Amino acid sequence: MSLTENQKTFSHDDDNVVVVIGSGAGGGTLANGLAQQGINTVVLEAGALHTTADFLADEWASFGQLAWLDPRTTSGSFRLAKDFAGLPAWIVKAVGGTTIHWAGASLRLQPHEFKALTNYGAVKGANLLDWPISYDELTPYYANAEDRMGVTRTNDIGGLPGNNNFKVMHAGAQKLDYNCNTGHMAINSQPRDGRLACQQRGFCFQGCRFGAKWSTLYTELPEGIATGHMELRPESHVARIEHNEEGRITAVIYFDKDGKEQRQKARVVAVAGNSIETPRLLLNSASSTFPDGLANSSGQVGRNYMRHMTGSVYATFEEPVHMYRGTTMAGIIQDEAHHDPDRGFVGGYELETLSLGLPFMAAFLNPGAWGREFTHAMDQYDHMAGMWLVGEDMPRETNRITLNTDARDLFGMPVANVHYDDHDNDIAMREHAFERGEAIYNAAGAVETIRTPPYPSTHNLGTCRMSASAQDGVCNGIGQTHDIPNLFISDGSQFTTSAAENPTLTIVALALRQAEKMGQMIKQGAV
């Protein structure tokens, strides 16, 4: 039976519903959190509904099935603007959002990262700010999120068994006195919560066919629907948000699966379209009252776009590795995640195992490359190990999402332009991380090491950031916009700074907290 078949439905004229835009880590979790409190919620998801049985063990075919391929443009000096000018981000357009594609790494932000400006000091060319909330405030929600998601090495859940790729990273880490284990992963190491254990399939990025990896598709969304207080509308592409004369949100305009324009009234609207689409929607909703877009009195909507400092190191060995067998990412070194300016940069980074299949290795190894150096690396594919480097990047006012009125989507709306210039801090950190990654593989006996540039971004953050003061950001510490009380930001756009860690666990923790606070406000009649 389809997820949406017998669900409760709500009228387009029902102005008492909360409308959540997006069904991924933020939107899906928030919607279920509200439904559990008996609050009627409509989830509008731009993508289609797939089941785990639809997922493909074929990288390119899966990409075509799941990726957000609506047009986008890029600018700036970051290499992606040259390598993948029309594909700045690798995120999902489907029910469940990017929780279908994510690797599952579930790391808490470190306490000091919530106070980046205080702890790092002002950094030239960066727009650092402290979060308006602390680690301690988020702690209970982290604990709840870890339990809900089944994060390994929490709640007495054992670690995932290490695969071949992990063994290589681990051997190098041992030699360099780094701590290395299979990490905190929202992937079942044993059957749990009605979901199977990981079968080491290796197609985590293509959707987990066994449902071992947490995704809102088969956890939060069906739970929410089961309450009778939530309606999920797939293939519902939101174009703009409307408000009344008092500047309160009243409705959401979207295009349904037949391309027909629909208008859903709303008491509250929560935007969780990932950090490119969320600011685009606010900007595309400009009106005579809000000529610069919704919730943009600070001018910060779309600014401070962060994508994490990233890069990869692959290494070849005399003996076979077969890195693609098993969990795509399950091996983490956190010993470089701390803040130590003596390394020549502020903030820190994680080193995490990562593998690509042969097709995507060709696509991402060195985009645009040809000739013997490239093919020599590809020739050693089955003798290759790989890791991903992910660290804190600097928020910059000039790194931003803007509307490109020269390019339109299927519905005639201006598309998002993604502008990004690497900060010197990002470059210094990447160099350090490359060097440490190579050292780890050399310690394990590598024949050659290869530095691979950033992939299209899966970690898109910060474009509607939280701030204590309304001048510095778009929303407050619970994601409520400073300007419009019944408009909330519910995804990674809220991040004041990126921190080093993979963001999903924090997005979920923030959504659980927001659901609780929003529920209280609704019951008190505050929104």
Residues that bind another protein (CB under 8 A): 57-60, 152, 158-164, 166-168, 170-171, 174, 180-182, 188-191, 197-203, 209-210, 319-322, 324-326, 357-359, 361-363, 370-372, 374-375, 378-379, 381-382, 444-445
> Helix or strand or coil: residue 523?
helix
> Helix or strand or coil: residue 358?
helix
Distance of CA 131 to the CA centre of its chain: 18
Nearer Cβ to another protein (114/178)? 178
CB of 439 to another protein, least distance (A): 16
Nearer Cβ to another protein (140/158)? 158
The phi, psi pair for 180, rounded to 5°, reads -145, 125
CB of 106 to another protein, least distance (A): 15
Nearer Cβ to another protein (370/406)? 370
Contact 196, 228 (CB under 8 A): no
User: Which DSSP state fits 185?
Assistant: B
CB of 373 to another protein, least distance (A): 10
CB of 250 to another protein, least distance (A): 47
In angstroms, rounded to a whole number, what is the distance separating the alpha carbons of residues 500 and 349?
Answer: 5
Helical axes 424-443 vs 164-175, angle rounded to 10° = 100
Nearer Cβ to another protein (151/464)? 151
CA pseudo-torsion sign 498, 501, 504, 508:
negative
Nearer Cβ to another protein (290/360)? 360
CB of 437 to another protein, least distance (A): 17
Nearer Cβ to another protein (53/122)? 53
Nearer Cβ to another protein (159/414)? 159
CA pseudo-torsion sign 264, 235, 275, 506:
positive
In 346-418, where does DSSP find H-type helix? 358-364, 372-379
In angstroms, rounded to a whole number, what is the distance separating the alpha carbons of residues 520 and 527?
Answer: 9
CB of 465 to another protein, least distance (A): 36
In angstroms, rounded to a whole number, what is the distance separating the alpha carbons of residues 243 and 293?
Answer: 12
CB of 320 to another protein, least distance (A): 7
Nearer Cβ to another protein (291/371)? 371
Query: Residue with structure tokens 């408000």?
Result: 243
CB of 82 to another protein, least distance (A): 13
Burial class (CB in 10 A: 0-12, 13-18, 19+), 322: middle
In angstroms, rounded to a whole number, what is the distance separating the alpha carbons of residues 136 and 113?
Answer: 12
